[in-house]
Each structure stands twice: as structure tokens, then as C-alpha cells.
Structure 1
Amino acid sequence: MDAEDFRSVLIDRIGLKDSPLVDAFLAEHPRATIFHGIRWQRVLQDAYGHSCFYWIARRGGAVVGVFPVTIVRFPVLGTKAVAGAYQFYSGLPVAADEKIEEQLVRHAFKEARAIGVKYFEIRHHAPVEYLGALGFVALDSGLVTTEVSLVDLDETRVRPRHRRYLGLAERNGVSIVARDPMEGLLEFRRLYLIEGRALGSPRMGMRFFREQCRWLGDKCYVWTARTTESRCIGGLMTIEDGERAFARCGAYSIGDALRLQVGKALIWRAMQDAAARGCKSFDFGVSWVGDRGLIRFKEGWGGVTRPVFQYVHGALAGESGSGDLFTRYELVKRVWRRLPLPIVDRVGAQVFRWVC
């Protein structure tokens, strides 16, 4: 175990085993999410083989800070560290105060450099001044996230254009069904791959979602849209941490699903169910800042959009942010749209081992 004492604060790296002390600290911290938990790190480790360095700060035996960092290694491309991998809500440490946050980042960065990491990235949904003092450069990420309040959820808060279509699928015989997460994912997986291929966008491999179901258990929720003939025409998966619901994947933008506005029915059902379980917000995930249509769609539910702040330290610090991926590689996207689905599935999983 590594340890360093900062004026009575001891910083340790712990193994990825359930820790009641860590769980209790995260449960009480207002900024902690499911992505700060040990089990989310197990998802990343088992799905992609990444090393997850789980740093905690202690004072007098009590946990006063948590900072999970994912170490990503890939042949030729090298090694990088990402705090908040596979989500863009926040990768910042959660701690009793900002000074402990800064100590956690300083310590994790030093240890990452010691194992050969040349690039370290931290994401957050607001500016963080102390990261600049530590040598991190703020990139223009080109990304935004949209979050909807679920407190006193009511249809009247939904924009009329959305509200008009909430019942269209049901009026045409489509049922939105809550499913066992793994069974539901398998049911709409093909649609998920087809939609990704049509967009020229790789999809995360099925193993990633399987590990979420395995490690997060009753925090995973899946709904599918079925016709009267029991044919699946869409699906949606979320994960929850008691305070927030996060949309993780969906398929509802082609064929009958698009014609019947199945996406609106799935999202509304997911919001209602999350609100009933006590969640206070619904996070739509990341969008490219230039995709105004998608952003307007998310804001149509009463959502508030804010930029993703991307802080980097290392060889790529002068490069553009992650949003640049949405505007480049047009030739690659054209090729991707022509690939057979089995190749899309396998290669997409490898792409996301690095793009996280």
C-alpha cells in the first residue's frame, strides 16, 4: 500500500473490494456519484482490462476523500490516466474540502508519472481553479451535458412538441416494458449496433454492459419497446445512484421506433420510474456542442445544458478536446457505415478500450 502524509491526511491506494467506510463516505457526500464507487471501477477493470487506482484520503481513521483513476494501456498508443472514464459528468475527487481534493490529485498524478503515464485527464461539469495551479491545461472540450430535474416531475414541464408524442407509441400498440437488465440488453443489442453503424459511430462492446449488470446489480434498469407481435423496436438502459439516473445506452431512432416516437415513450417512462425511486435528476449524457438538434431534444424535457470542462496534463495538452471526434474522421465514418455488424461489434469494443 502506498501512503503519504499531508498534515494529518494519509493518502492510500486500496484494492477494489467493497469497503463500508468508503461506501458510507460516498453516501453522505453531495457530489459523489455511482462513478466514484468501487464497483464502477470493477466494471472498467473486468470489461476492458484497465487498471483502476482507487485513492482514498484518511484523517484519524475516517475516510475524508476518494479519487478513482483509470490507467489505460493500448499497444502503440501508450498509457494514459483518466479520472472519470466512460462518463462525462465528473471525474473530480470528492472530499471533505477542496484542499484534500487537491492533495488527492497531486498524489495520484505523481504516482501515475512513476509508472510511465504521459497523459492525465480529469473531467468536470464546472471550472476547477486549482487544477491550473497543478499544471493541468483546460481544453475546449466541444462537449456539453444535459440534466433534467425529477423533483415534482410533471408532463407540463415537458415542451409541447415532446408532450404531443408521449402517447403515440402506446396508441399504436407499443408497450414499454421494464425488463431484467441483461435480458433487455440482449433484446435490443442488434438495434443498438445498427444505429451506431448508421451514424458512423463505434459502440461499446456488450461485455461493458454485461459487467455493469453484474457489478451494479439493482442500480441497472432497462426498458424495451414491443409491438403487439412482441417484436422489439427499441430499448433504453440507465444506471442510478439514488440521487441521479444516468442514461447509458439506447436504440430508438430508426424504422418503426422513429415513426412512432418510441424514444420519447422510453425516456418518459425511465424518468417516471427514476423519480418514483427517489432520484432527483436525470442525466442525458454527453453531446457534441455543434449538434443543436440533439441538444434541443434533451432540453425539451426541461433539461439544463452545461459545458464539459476537460483538464489535461501531458503530451496531448495542446490538442483539441474530445468533441473533436464528432467532426473529424469522415472517411473512417463512411467506411464504418458499410461494415458487417459482427465487425462493428468487435472492433467497436476495441476502439472504446482507448476512447474512454
Structure 2
Amino acid sequence: HHAAIARAVRKAGRLGVTVRPASSLADVRRWYRLYVGTMRAHAIPPRPLQFFERMWEVLAPPGRLRLLLAERQSGGQVQLLAGSLFLMYGQTVIFAFNGRDRSQLQFRPNDAIHWTAIMDASASGFRRYDFGEGTGDNAGLLAFKEKWGTRPVDMYRYHYPQQPRMDRGILASGPLQRTQEYAWRLLPPAMTTRMGRWAYHLL
């Protein structure tokens, strides 16, 4: 898919999309609004803003975290189209979180972000680029990752000591899952944010 990726990146550049690293907590907070909207569309509780603020304060100074923002000039203002948060560990760059303005995807901001991230990672000596988690029920996300030549591998989680967990997630799978997801997408973003804080507090 190299040609398709190259076309998407060239299109983003032609349409005035630029990618830059976040430089402050203000950038993190601007991006967080897009992240909340993206999680709402996927019917997934968003992680709290304080989680990302703390990550930025602890991991960004030693170069273990990077937030790339795709922006475009529109109407004399800089418009934030999308942003992705990456974690660095050893020789691997890990794509961890994304937020995007769904109405602006025609500008291909996520392609521009990943292209920049991969080029920068290679130039900095990293050897692996991890596209993060994916599940079989999100065909669009899996297709996007496969376009970049990804290879799926199984992921396992181990917890010690055993942690208390919720018997049923907020959007647990089952016969009511579609109804739950539909109802979740109707909630105001502020409410999904509050419910996310509650849910991750219990995990």
C-alpha cells in the first residue's frame, strides 16, 4: 500500500496540513477535547484529563512521550484536525491514543501524523513502530493499520496481585451491546468524561 499512503500524505500537504509536536499542557488540553469526541464515537469511556496531564509532566521531559498534532490554517485561524500520543520504550515507538475531528478526515491528518512519527522514529534510532491495540469489532481501525503493513500479534495482560474488577463493563458485550453503544453516542461529551473517570477509578 505504499502508493496509497504516499498519495494520502501528499494530499495532506497539498491541503495545508502541518504536523508538529505538542509543546505544553495547553496543547494536551486542546487535543483532549478531540480525544473525548473520538472515544464517544467508538462508544468507549475516555480516560480522565488528569491521566494525560500527569503522563505529560512525567514522561515528556525525558523523551518517553510525544504528542503529534495535525493542524491547518482555516479562516485566518489554526484548526486542530487530529492528534496522536506516542510512548517510547527501548527501541519501540508505541501509538497509544488518538483524537480526531471526524468532520476533517478528508484532509488525511492521521496519515500525515503517522508518516511524520515513523520518519522521526527512524531518524532517532528506533527500530520498531507499534500501532497499538486493535479489536476485531473495529474494522475501520484494523483496515487503517493494515494499510501500513502491520502484523497482528496476540497481547496478554497479567495482574499481580489480583486487582478487583468490574463484573460487567459499562459497554459490556452481549445482546444489549448495540443499544448501549447507541445510547452512549447520544450522551453529551461532558457526561461521557465524568463516566470515564468513574469507570477507570474502578478498574
TM-score (norm 1): 0.49
Which amino acid is 2:33 matched to?
R
Instruction: Find out whether 1:203 has 2:46 as its counterpart.
Output: yes
Q: CA deviation at 1:159?
A: 3.3
Equivalence map 1:276-287=2 (5 Å): 276-287=123-134
Which amino acid is 2:14 matched to?
R
Instruction: Find out whether 1:221 has 2:69 as its counterpart.
Output: no
Unaligned segments of structure 2, at least 5 residues: none
Report if the CA contact (8 A) 1:174-1:227 is conserved. Answer: yes
Give the Cα separation in 2 of the matches to 1:180 and 1:219.
14
Q: Go from structure 1 to structure 2 and tell me whether the alpha carbon gap of 1:298 and 1:346 turns closer, same or farther (over 3 Å shift).
A: same
Which amino acid is 2:69 matched to?
T
Instruction: Find out whether 1:332 has 2:180 as its counterpart.
Output: yes
Query: Share of identical aligned residues, percent?
Result: 22
Residue 269 of structure 1, aligned match among 116, 120, 127: 116
What is the root-mean-square deviation in Å for CA atoms of aligned residues? 2.7
Q: Go from structure 1 to structure 2 and tell me whether the alpha carbon gap of 1:310 and 1:219 turns closer, same or farther (over 3 Å shift).
A: closer
Give the Cα separation in 2 of the matches to 1:167 and 1:354.
44
Deviating above 4 A after TM superposition, structure 1's stretches of 4 or more consecutive aligned residues are 310-314, 324-328
* Partner in structure 2 of residue 348 of structure 1: 196
Q: Go from structure 1 to structure 2 and tell me whether the alpha carbon gap of 1:171 and 1:287 turns closer, same or farther (over 3 Å shift).
A: same
Instruction: Find out whether 1:251 has 2:99 as its counterpart.
Output: yes
Structure of greater relative contact order (alpha carbons < 8 Å, 6+ residues apart): 2
Which amino acid is 1:272 matched to?
M
Residue 293 of structure 1, aligned match among 131, 134, 140: 140
TM-score (norm 2): 0.82
Q: Go from structure 1 to structure 2 and tell me whether the alpha carbon gap of 1:306 and 1:232 turns closer, same or farther (over 3 Å shift).
A: same
Unaligned segments of structure 1, at least 5 residues: 1-157
Which deviations, in whole Å up to 9, do the C-alpha atoms of 1:20-62 show, x marking residues without a partner? xxxxxxxxxxxxxxxxxxxxxxxxxxxxxxxxxxxxxxxxxxx
Give the Cα separation in 1 of the matches to 2:159 and 2:22.
39
Give the Cα separation in 2 of the matches to 1:301 and 1:248.
16
Q: Which has the larger radius of gyration?
A: 1
SS of structure 2 residue aligned to 1:227: strand
Instruction: Find out whether 1:169 has 2:12 as its counterpart.
Output: yes
Give the Cα separation in 2 of the matches to 1:225 and 1:287.
22
The range that moved more, 286-295 or 210-219, is 286-295
Q: CA deviation at 1:326?
A: 6.2
More strand by share: 1
* Partner in structure 2 of residue 48 of structure 1: none
Which deviations, in whole Å up to 9, do the C-alpha atoms of 1:228-273 show, x marking residues without a partner? 23111111111112411111211236011x1111110011111111
Q: CA deviation at 1:310?
A: 5.2
Give the Cα separation in 2 of the matches to 1:222 and 1:193.
16
Which deviations, in whole Å up to 9, do the C-alpha atoms of 1:109-144 show, x marking residues without a partner? xxxxxxxxxxxxxxxxxxxxxxxxxxxxxxxxxxxx
Which amino acid is 1:222 matched to?
L
Give the Cα separation in 1 of the matches to 2:140 and 2:31.
24
Report if the CA contact (8 A) 1:181-1:222 is conserved. Answer: no
Give the Cα separation in 2 of the matches to 1:185 and 1:353.
21
Give the Cα separation in 2 of the matches to 1:240 and 1:192.
20
Which amino acid is 1:178 matched to?
P
Q: CA deviation at 1:312?
A: 8.2
Report if the CA contact (8 A) 1:188-1:233 is conserved. Answer: no
Q: CA deviation at 1:294?
A: 2.1
